[in-house]
Every structure is written in structure tokens, then in C-alpha cells.
A and B are shown apart, each in its own frame.
Chain A
């Protein structure tokens, strides 16, 4: 899906857990998530911790859309 949307000319960032899969299939902008069932908030953490993580990673994804890249890039997250 990522490839077809990018092929149409839209910058697209994939947020996912299995980074090697995303790089192999040809995603160009990638931001890691923390798991498969709950990509952006671990239910074992407090609501506030979950929010911090989600807010941070979505921010990284938005910045990725505004970043020119020369090759497929996995953007770094801090939380």
C-alpha cells in the first residue's frame, strides 16, 4: 500500500514494528512503533506515558514527511 500511494506522488511515512519487512518491501520513510497489537501506546504503561510516546512518535513521522531524503530512511525516535 505504501508503495502505491508513494507511486502516486504522495510523500508517505510508514509507522511499523517490523522494520526489516518495511525496508525489504520498499518503504522509503519509516518510523518504528513499539509492537504489533499496540503500535503507539503500551497498555502496561500509564495513560500519560502512552500519550508521551504517541505524541513523540507521531511528531517524528510528521517531520519525516517534511524531510528530503536520498535513500530509504528509518527515522530515529527518542521514546
Chain B
């Protein structure tokens, strides 16, 4: 019987929600939470241990977290490592990628995880580990876990592994020589592609070049002491009654709030509605996310010309890149109108 180990976060490890996101790594014998499903789907392997670590602990203390987890694994026998699935949860995706990469490098075992295409962990780690194309929420747990397990079974049984698209994981940017069953030579295939292209028909290249959407760097502000500075945040700071009814997760709405007559954001007047972290600190002092007090000080000192009258706020958890881009474009119109010179965006 081969052996597998699974990494999950504090939520799936049944420790707790955002208030437990600082949970320090632990290893437990046997099955916790999703490990039961993984164990069921694995054919000739069993899950011997489950590792649990809080997403914020991993995000903010990566070296420490990875060091401790690799320490747990030292001397343990295992043939394969799994993490997640992480769905669209950004911090969890980051954690799964970090730990899979570290375990694979240290112990030289295959590492498998799963994420939704919009999880930033995909871009960060798809070159390093197998990341399967997963759903955007935990309702897809069983399905995503089964896909991970099926591929694990193939590896453990020494079956032939096909390329990324055929298996369902994100391309790792690796190219392998493949013998096609059709035995059709490259010359014929490329001419066929060319003809299709000339005819305006669909064709599929055999050497896809990945595209990355990079934005040109905007020129620096020439004279900060005359500049109009604006603040945007994805940390969900809003007036306590949340007048724009911005959603606490998967936001499609944003708001702008006048703070021109204030020197700091007072607790009880502003709060965060972000559902992706423990709000206690930001509710007690909203300036830890929208640093109005510090910006006012710089304005008084003359370091900046002025602070734009409004700050702009939405919630960045579970929010799709498409919605975020749309909201930003809407905000840009206001920034242009107010002749803003530079922007500080605080994300959580």
C-alpha cells in the first residue's frame, strides 16, 4: 500500500474560519475533513496524515511555516503529496502552491493540487507543480478531489501520463516529444494548419506561447509636494451602515466616501465588511487599512499637495478579475475628473 499526505487550511481542517487563519501548522495522523474523500478515491494508496495550517500564517510567515511542515514530514514515508483543492481562495491557493513546491523539491515526490483558473496561485505555481483545473467554490470539493486522486492513481501505478490539456492540469510550460497514434508527420500537420488559417478556419497550434498581460509602468509623479493623491482599497472599509451595500465577498459593487473633513477614520464611524479576514483590528482602528491619519500628516508637512476628497473601497475576496477590472475602470473616471496624480491601493 502506497502512502499519501494531504495539506489543507484551517477552514477545511475544521479549526475555524477567518478568526483562526493564523493557526500554526500541525500534522495529524489519519484523516481530517477532505482527507476522507481523498482516501476514498485513491486506489492502492492510503492517506496516512493530514497537515493543517492557517492561510494567514502561511501568507505572512512563509519560511517559518514551510520549515515546520518539512520538519513534520522528515522521516515519514510517503509516495505522493496533495494539497487543497483551493478553489478560488487566493491565500489558500498561494499556500497550496508554496507547500507543494517545497515538498516536491525536498522529498522528490509528485505534488498535486487544484485551483480555479482565477486563483492567483495558478500563475504563481503552475510551472512547479501539477495544478488541476478546479471549480470556484467548495461545492466542487468531491469532483475536484476525485480528479486529483485519479491522476495520483495514474502516477502511483506507473501509467502513461498525457500532456497538460489531456490530463486537465494547467500547462507547466514544459515540452515533451509525443508520438501521435495517427503517425501523421509534422510536415503534413503544419500544412493542414496553414490551409485552415488561410481559409479563416480554426486551427490549434502545437506550440502555444503563453501571453502575460503586463501594463506599462506609469511615469513617476514629478513634484509630490503639488500632487493630488487618492486611496483605493480592496479591504472593505465603509461607513458603518454600508450605504452602497457592497457585498462581503465576490463583490460587484464599490463605493466612494468623503473623508475631506476628517483627520483619521474613527471606529464606530467606519468598519470593514470584508469576509475574508478577521475584522476585529480594522474595526477597532480603520486607519490600519485606509491610513488617513498618516496621509493627513504628510499633507500638513507639505510632502504631498493634497489628499483627494474621497477614498474608494470594495471587497477583494472571491471577486473575479473581470469584476475587479470593471470596478477599477469605473473608479478611474472619478480619478480623472478629480485630476488625481497618483494612487495608493491597499489590499488585504
- A70 and B218 alpha carbons, distance in the complex (Å): 10
- A28 and B303 alpha carbons, distance in the complex (Å): 22
CB distance from A71 to the nearest CB of B (A): 8
- Given the contacts A26-B215, A58-B291, A37 and B284 also touching, CB distance less than 8 Å: no
Is B123 a contact of A5 with CB atoms below 8 Å? no
Is B220 a contact of A26 with CB atoms below 8 Å? no
Name the contact of B288 in the complex, choosing from A13, A14, A38 (C-beta under 8 A): A38
| A residues in contact (CB < 8 Å) with B | 1-18, 20-22, 24-26, 28-29, 33-43, 50-51, 54-55, 58-59, 61-63, 65-72
Is B220 a contact of A66 with CB atoms below 8 Å? yes
- Given the contacts A3-B215, A8-B336, A36 and B343 also touching, CB distance less than 8 Å: no
B176 within 8 A of A: no
Residues of B within 8 A of A61 (CB): 344
Residues of B within 8 A of A59 (CB): 294, 298, 303
Q: B residues 260-293 with Cβ under 8 Å of A?
A: 276-282, 284-285, 287-289, 291, 293
Q: Which of B39-47, B197-205, B321-329 contacts A (4 or more CB under 8 A)?
A: B321-329
Given contacts A14-B347, A66-B220, 18 further A-B contacts (CB under 8 A): A1-B325, A3-B213, A5-B331, A6-B215, A8-B336, A11-B218, A11-B342, A12-B218, A15-B346, A18-B91, A21-B94, A25-B123, A26-B212, A35-B56, A37-B277, A62-B298, A62-B303, A71-B217
Is B60 a contact of A17 with CB atoms below 8 Å? yes
B229 within 8 A of A: yes
Residues of B within 8 A of A67 (CB): 220
Is B342 a contact of A43 with CB atoms below 8 Å? no
- Given the contacts A54-B294, A65-B227, A37 and B282 also touching, CB distance less than 8 Å: yes
Is B60 a contact of A21 with CB atoms below 8 Å? no
Is B56 a contact of A36 with CB atoms below 8 Å? yes
B168 within 8 A of A: no
- A56 and B227 alpha carbons, distance in the complex (Å): 19
In this complex, what residue of A is CB-closest to B60? A35
Is B345 a contact of A12 with CB atoms below 8 Å? yes
- A10 and B232 alpha carbons, distance in the complex (Å): 12
* B contacts with A: majority SS: mixed
Residues of A within 8 A of B219 (CB): 11, 68
Is A7 a contact of B123 with CB atoms below 8 Å? no
B155 within 8 A of A: no
B109 within 8 A of A: no
B221 within 8 A of A: yes
CB distance from A25 to the nearest CB of B (A): 6
Name the contact of A58 in the complex, choosing from B276, B340, B344 (C-beta under 8 A): B344
Residues of A within 8 A of B216 (CB): 6
B348 within 8 A of A: yes
- A25 and B235 alpha carbons, distance in the complex (Å): 18
CB distance from B75 to the nearest CB of A (A): 30
- Given the contacts A5-B331, A54-B291, A61-B344, A43 and B284 also touching, CB distance less than 8 Å: yes
- Given the contacts A36-B277, A43-B280, A17 and B234 also touching, CB distance less than 8 Å: no
- A43 and B328 alpha carbons, distance in the complex (Å): 30
- Given the contacts A36-B348, A43-B280, A62-B229, A24 and B120 also touching, CB distance less than 8 Å: yes
Residues of B within 8 A of A65 (CB): 220-221, 224, 227, 229, 342-344
B304 within 8 A of A: yes
- Given the contacts A54-B288, A59-B298, A1 and B327 also touching, CB distance less than 8 Å: yes
CB distance from A11 to the nearest CB of B (A): 4
Which 9 A-B pairs rank lowest in CB-CB distance, beginning with the nearest? A4-B328, A38-B281, A1-B328, A65-B342, A41-B288, A58-B294, A37-B277, A12-B343, A11-B218
B131 within 8 A of A: no
